[in-house]
């Protein structure tokens, strides 16, 4: 039996969503982005929303998200994705509008746009990848970098007195009247992936139902930036990241 006998349609037990195209991803092996991209594509497909979906890509590792998921996209300036999403949704209220942002985009340069969009209760979903480091630019400190964590700009470990504290921005967003759903998920195990998918679906449905802003934080690994194997990175995340960023719903109305 050669490979052609195996890959017949009737033998298929799993397939990637159609909306996830065949472009080779630029993400490092072991990166969480690939999994989350697949979930986003899968959810849009399952909702039958490909014809109304509009994604806003950030600056950071996910800047090329538009190359992989076959929906309409706008690539935003760094941090401004929620501002673009605000206009896209208000001007086209029947569309499914979501942002896909990293920790720099969401919690540093775009803090104002993110908090204010959420505070206005824009009917958008925000997918927030928190891997506690700046992957795209080569591993510098992020606002969410843990204390003691080594990055290229905190080579001796992050110190509160020098660099301030890690910012749990979703905690802030959960307190805003404009948000309807704020949750923290991860994608390091099959069980976690399934839960994350449910969360993304809920966020997208909220957007269409006009319930307010939904935020899905995915606590993620950056094994390249963290300088670990993917497996070690998952373990390190569970042992360290989850203490500062505990998994679960922060708000569900």
Partner 1 sequence: MKGNEALAHAAIRYGADGYFGYPITPQSEVLEVLEEQRPWETTGMVVLQAESELAAINMVYGGAACGKVVFTSSSSPGISLMQEGISYIAASEVPALIVNVMRGGPGLGTIHPSQADYFQAVKGGGHGDYHLIVLAPSSVQEMCDFMWLGWDLAFKYRTPAMLLADGLVGQMMEKVVLPEPRPRRTEEQVREQCPWAINGRKGMRPRNVITSLELVDEIMEQNNLRFQRTYREIEKNEVRYETIDTEDCDYLFVAFGSMARICQKVMEVAREEGIKIGLLRPITLWPFPSQQIKEAAKNVKGIMVVELSAGQMIEDVKLAVECNVDVKHYGRFGGIVPTPEEVLDALKKQFAINK
Q: Which two tokens stand for residue 89?
A: 């949704």
Question: By the 8 A CB rule, do 149 and 121 touch?
Answer: no
Q: Residue 2 burial by CB count (10 A; 0-12/13-18/19+): exposed, middle or buried?
A: exposed
Residue with tokens 């190359």: 67
Could you list the residues that contact partner 1 (CB under 8 A)? 50-54, 56-57, 63-64, 66, 70-77, 80, 83-88, 90-92, 95, 112-113, 116
Least gap, CB of 89 to partner 1 (angstroms): 9
Backbone region of residue 164 per phi and psi (left: phi > 0; alpha: psi in -120 to 50; beta: other values): left
Least gap, CB of 73 to partner 1 (angstroms): 5
Question: By the 8 A CB rule, do 46 and 201 touch?
Answer: yes
Least gap, CB of 79 to partner 1 (angstroms): 8
Residue closer to partner 1 by CB (options 117, 182) is 117
DSSP letter at 132 equals S
Residue closer to partner 1 by CB (options 76, 129) is 76
Q: How far apart are CA 223 and CA 112, in angstroms?
A: 29
Residue closer to partner 1 by CB (options 85, 187) is 85
Residue closer to partner 1 by CB (options 53, 132) is 53
Least gap, CB of 229 to partner 1 (angstroms): 28
């Amino acid at each position: 039996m050669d490979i052609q006998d195996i890959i017949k349609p009737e033998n298929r037990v799993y397939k990637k969503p159609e909306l996830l195209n065949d472009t080779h991803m630029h993400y490092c092996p072991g990166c969480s982005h690939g999994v989350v991209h697949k979930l986003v594509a899968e959810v849009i497909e399952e909702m039958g929303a490909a014809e109304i979906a509009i994604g806003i890509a950030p600056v950071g590792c996910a800047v090329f998200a538009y190359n992989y998921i076959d929906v309409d996209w706008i690539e935003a300036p760094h941090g401004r994705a929620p501002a673009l999403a605000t206009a896209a949704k208000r001007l086209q209220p029947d569309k499914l509008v979501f942002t896909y942002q990293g920790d720099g985009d969401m919690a540093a340069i775009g803090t104002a746009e993110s908090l204010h969009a959420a505070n206005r209760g824009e009917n958008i979903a925000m997918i927030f990848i928190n891997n506690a480091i700046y992957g795209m630019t080569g591993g510098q400190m992020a606002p969410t970098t843990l204390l003691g964590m080594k990055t290229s700009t905190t080579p001796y470990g992050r110190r509160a007195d020098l660099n301030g504290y890690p910012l749990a921005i979703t905690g802030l967003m959960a307190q805003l009247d404009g948000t309807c759903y704020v949750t923290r998920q991860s994608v390091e195990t099959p069980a976690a992936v399934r839960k994350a998918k449910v969360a993304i679906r809920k966020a997208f449905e909220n957007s269409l139902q006009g319930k307010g802003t939904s935020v899905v934080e995915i606590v993620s690994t950056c094994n390249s930036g963290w300088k670990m194997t993917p497996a070690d990175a998952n373990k390190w995340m569970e042992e360290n990241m989850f203490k500062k960023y505990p998994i679960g719903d922060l708000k569900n109305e």
